[in-house]
Structure 1
Amino acid sequence: MIVETLAALQDMALPSALRASRWVYPVVNAGHIAGLALLFGAIVPLDLRLLGFWADRPIAPLARVLLPVAICGLILAVVCGLLLFSVHAVKYAATPLFQVKLLLIAAAIANALLLRRAPDWTLAQVTEMAVNSPRLRLAGALSLGLWLAVILCGRFIAYL
């Protein structure tokens, strides 16, 4: 049932046009990479700050600027990623590395959402004591590791 659904997805007009186009697929691929660059480029300074780097800098102004960039990057990466997936949906869905990538993305997003819900994290008033908590340091380390693993999985998938 799922294979038939994925086959129907990749046979739709948009994925077929992406496969047939010399220029559109590479543009969508570049959009995916740009989204990842925005996402990862925005979260690295935040995660490093959670890990204790630049302790003399308050995190709230940094987060106010970088979180919207990270969210836009995530949206762009997901939209372009779905388009890329649709071109060879059956093949990608059956690839264990792709499945791992999806799990890593889910874990990274869950980590970010849990971090935002943490009682010692409020964007308006993050105290330096709260930023130095072991739980927030762990969240920063997890974020860096998970998103880096997502990127690596994506690159390895391109060579399968």
Structure 2
Amino acid sequence: MEPLIDMLAVSGPAQMMRTGRWVYAAVSGGHVLGIALLVGAIASLDLRLIGLWPTVPVPDLAQVLVPVAATGLILAMMTGLLLFLAGPADYLQMRVFLLKLTLIACGAGHAVWFHSTNSFTRPNIGLWRVGLLSLLMWLAVLICGRMLAFID
């Protein structure tokens, strides 16, 4: 694993992220935009699943918000990878970073399961539980991501 980390650390994109002040700022801004799209869309859908806005049909809301969330996830992952390259060895030593990655995988897996089974059309599965779990996972991702700035 260490040779791979060393190879990533000396790659062109990694050097660009470490030395390009404006590049790092632009990528970081893109990461924030991706997170905003992802969490904003997911939180809105989750709040509907929990019980807010009961007159709005869940499938209609999902049809609008899921593509926004997917776009945000893709943007956040692409920019997150570039941010990771600025210090891969450092990030991999942080437990909160590994927790963040685990939570992202769980949140994405939860969303794929939920939408691939058309679970929003079956109210007997307890949609409020699905929404609450999703909301908690993505809020935990946000907290872990923010904590990275405060952990050595």
TM-score (norm 2): 0.94
> Quick one: percent identity of the two aligned structures?
41
Other-structure match for 2:130:
139
Deviation at 1:4?
2.1
| 1:115/1:136 contact within 8 Å kept | no
Please tell me whether residue 103 in structure 1 is matched to residue 94 in structure 2. no
Question: How many correspondences in the alignment?
Answer: 151
Task: Give the partner amino acid of 1:50.
Answer: L
Task: Give the partner amino acid of 1:152.
Answer: I
Task: Give the partner amino acid of 1:92.
Answer: Y
Other-structure match for 1:38:
37
2:126 is paired with a residue of what secondary structure? helix
Deviations for 1:3-48, whole angstroms, at most 9, x for unmatched residues?
2211210110111011111110011011111000000111111101
Structure 1 residues 36, 119: closer, same or farther in 2, change over 3 A? closer
Structure 1 residues 20, 65: closer, same or farther in 2, change over 3 A? same
Task: Give the partner amino acid of 1:145.
Answer: L
What is the 5 A alignment of 1:69-80? 69-80=68-79
| 1:31/1:80 contact within 8 Å kept | yes
Instruction: For structure 1, list consecutive stretches of 5 or more residues without a partner in the other structure.
Output: none
2:56 is paired with a residue of what secondary structure? coil
Distance 2:113 2:86 in 1: 33
What is the 5 A alignment of 1:83-94? 83-94=82-93
| 2:45/2:62 contact within 8 Å kept | yes
Deviation at 1:119?
5.3
2:55 is paired with a residue of what secondary structure? coil
List 4+ stretches of structure 1 deviating above 4 A: none
Deviation at 1:136?
2.2
Distance 2:26 2:104 in 1: 22
Instruction: For structure 2, list consecutive stretches of 5 or more residues without a partner in the other structure.
Output: none
Please tell me whether residue 152 in structure 1 is matched to residue 138 in structure 2. no
